[in-house]
Structure 1
Amino acid sequence: MMKRLFDFVSSLCGILILSPLFVILAFAVVIDTGFPVFFLQKRVGLYGRPFFIYKFRTMTLLKDASQGSFDAGDSRRVTPVGRVLRRTKLDELPQLWNVLRGDMSLVGPRPEVQKWVDVYPERWSRVLSLRPGITDNASLEFRNEEELLAASSNPEKTYRYEVLPRKLDLYEGYVQNHSLAGDLRIIFRTIFG
């Protein structure tokens, strides 16, 4: 209950304070590549319930982007503004709306597409006992995930057999040991790390 209250108040304040930045970033996306401003993708949330995650669009449009297809090796699709948004993680800011709605938490295991949840269903069933988050220890450890996968000869295989199992280790650790103090440390490391 305390975590949800913290998430609600923090996301509401964040949206209000950052609303001028949201407008500037939306304008930059439109100037760069036009509409739509936001990228929506179906992800798996609390107890396996699907929801749509919001991000500022950083790539040219692709029909199957919602299916979890890998684009790590196709940096040509990343727009000039998108590169800046990704590098600074500003593309993630619209997820404050997901937090306000209750789809997500500020801190928690990152939500995945169904394709990757189906790979390790027993592990995900434990992880999805908590609301997914915008940031967590796995996000911090894999800040360079895009570059890591782009350098791989088989990004999908690297993600499935190397990156995702390590992320799940960190997610399960968070599920067992989460606390408000721990969340504040993760938020601090995310912003200032």
Structure 2
Amino acid sequence: MTLSKRGFDLGLLILLSVVLVPLLAILVILMLIRGERPIFFGAERMHDPTTRFTLWKLRTMTPDHNDKGVSGGDKRDRITPMGHRLRRTRMDELPQMWNILRGDISFVGPRPPLPRYVQQFPDVYGEVLRSRPGVTGLATLVFASHEEALLRGCTTPEQTERVYVRRCVPRKARIDLLYQKNQGLCLDAYLVALTAGRFLGLVGRKGRLPRRRGRPQSP
């Protein structure tokens, strides 16, 4: 990670923490009131092809010590009522401010993969993880909704794994490498703005402004 990118991350983190830290505190209190303990969920992810770290989220599923792999339709019944809302708005990822502060991840970059997929595809992730993993990124904005649709229809862990490995990993890797080829602070700022716009409902799931009802659209 360059000094300029690290400075961008820390500066943006300080700026956003004025809003995000109180929001995280409110969500933690709500989860405590609802009895949804444990509050936080730590998942082992890869910082680079050889270094692991713990990625933190607000817990959105009932605990299962045998859980492994990505989330698909087979895990739908484990999502808590509040977890649905947290996932839909991506507010479950607010604890990753700590990971940004530590330098585990950046604001923008490829999503940090599970160790099992790095071991399974060393050549792919050897290239992808030359960029610091991030909370959001080009692949997240472009492909995440399609990935969710693909995995939502899976009914068994085996089917989820098969679909993710065959249809998601290679496509996300191509987009992540496209970001890597063009990365810079201007692109990072643009992707952060798109992410914020999506969070606020100003940008659609495919990165476009939502249409206004009752008004004709420009060609």
**TM value normalised by structure 2:** 0.82
Please tell me whether residue 169 in structure 1 is matched to residue 174 in structure 2.
yes
Q: Deviations over 1:21-67 (max 9, x none)?
A: 111111222233432111100100135311100111001111133x4
Contact kept? 1:12, 1:100, Cα under 8 Å: no
Q: Is the partner of 2:86 in helix, strand or coil?
A: helix
Q: Deviations over 1:141-190 (max 9, x none)?
A: 23323332021352211110011110010111122220111111111111
Which is greater in Rg?
Answer: 2
Contact kept? 1:45, 1:132, Cα under 8 Å: yes
Matching residue of 2:207: none
Are the structure 2 counterparts of residues 63 and 69 from structure 1 closer, same or farther at C-alpha, using a change threshold of 3 Å?
A: farther
Q: Which 4+ residue blocks in structure 1 deviate beyond 3 angstroms? A: 69-72
Return the letter of the residue paired with 1:137: L
Shift of 1:12: 2.9
Equivalent positions of 1:50-65 (< 5 A) are 50-65=52-67
Contact kept? 1:58, 1:86, Cα under 8 Å: yes
Q: Is the partner of 1:45 in helix, strand or coil?
A: strand
Please tell me whether residue 18 in structure 1 is matched to residue 23 in structure 2.
no
Please tell me whether residue 114 in structure 1 is matched to residue 110 in structure 2.
no
Matching residue of 1:151: 153
Name stretches of at least 5 consecutive residues in structure 1 with no aligned partner: none
How far apart, in 2, do the equivalents of 1:7 and 1:177 lie? 18
Number of residue pairs aligned between Structure 1 and Structure 2: 192
Matching residue of 2:217: none
Contact kept? 2:151, 2:164, Cα under 8 Å: yes
Write 1 or 2 for the structure with the bigger share of helix.
1
**TM value normalised by structure 1:** 0.92
How far apart, in 1, do the equivalents of 2:12 and 2:123 lie? 32
Q: Is the partner of 2:61 in helix, strand or coil?
A: coil
Shift of 1:132: 0.4
Equivalent positions of 1:47-126 (< 5 A) are 47-65=49-67, 67-68=68-69, 70-126=71-127
Contact kept? 2:45, 2:54, Cα under 8 Å: yes
How far apart, in 2, do the equivalents of 1:147 and 1:26 lie? 29
Shift of 1:5: 0.6
